[in-house]
């Protein structure tokens, strides 16, 4: 067999191992990504959003979808932010396909879109795309979550 053929075979083998390790977590005691179902990723409703905006606390809303890979990558970050600001702010996740009217109301064109609201319910900042935890936490503090 030629060098090129061997290189291709080894490349496919390595790629397969990398993918398998990524999907099965390499022993970090989490469920495999493939076993995670959409039902395990809860989202909030319009009523919960309305209640949060009236709570006098800052609110972060992630408008995304359970079908969107970047949205799902953002979820663990949002979970950490929610834990860090527990009692000081609300972190909500709205599925734009389940709540299309809300997506239209808040002019969501790309997902994920993060919208930050201050304690009065006024939008203070929005960003489309995945964002790092430090930047999200800083925006939460700017919105009044201290």
For the stretch 13-72, pLDDT in tens is 665 564 544 444 444 444 444 444 443 467 899 999 999 999 999 999 999 998 899 999
Residue 5's pLDDT is 63
In contact, 105 and 131? CB cutoff 8 Å: no
Q: For this structure, is 71 an active site residue?
A: yes
User: In residues, how long is the chain?
Assistant: 146
Q: Look at residue 111 and tell me whether its pLDDT is greater than 50.
A: yes
Residue 71 tokens read as: 């949205």
In contact, 129 and 64? CB cutoff 8 Å: no
Q: Domain locations in the chain?
A: 3-35, 38-142
What is the rounded average pLDDT of the residues 106-121? 96
Among 24, 41, 48, 68, the one annotated catalytic:
68
In angstroms and rounded to an integer, the radius of gyration of the C-alpha atoms of the chain is 19
Residue 24's pLDDT is 44
Q: Look at residue 124 and tell me whether its pLDDT is greater than 80.
A: yes
pTM of the model: 0.72
Among 49, 60, 71, 77, the one annotated catalytic:
71
Q: Which fold has domain 38-142?
A: Glutaredoxin (3.40.30)
């Amino acid at each position: 067999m030629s060098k090129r053929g061997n290189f291709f075979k080894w490349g496919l083998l390595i790629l397969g191992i990398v993918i398998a390790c990524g999907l099965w977590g390499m022993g970090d005691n989490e469920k495999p990504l493939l076993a995670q179902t959409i039902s395990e990723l809860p989202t909030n409703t319009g009523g919960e959003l309305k209640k949060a905006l009236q709570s006098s606390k800052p609110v972060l809303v992630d408008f995304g979808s359970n079908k969107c890979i970047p949205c799902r990558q953002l979820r663990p970050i949002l979970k950490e932010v929610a834990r860090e600001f527990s009692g000081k702010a609300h972190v909500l996740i709205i599925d734009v396909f389940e709540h299309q009217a809300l997506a239209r109301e808040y002019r969501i064109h790309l997902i994920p879109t993060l919208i930050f609201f201050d304690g009065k319910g006024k939008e203070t900042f929005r960003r489309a795309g995945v964002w790092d935890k430090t930047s999200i936490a800083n925006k939460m503090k700017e919105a009044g979550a201290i």
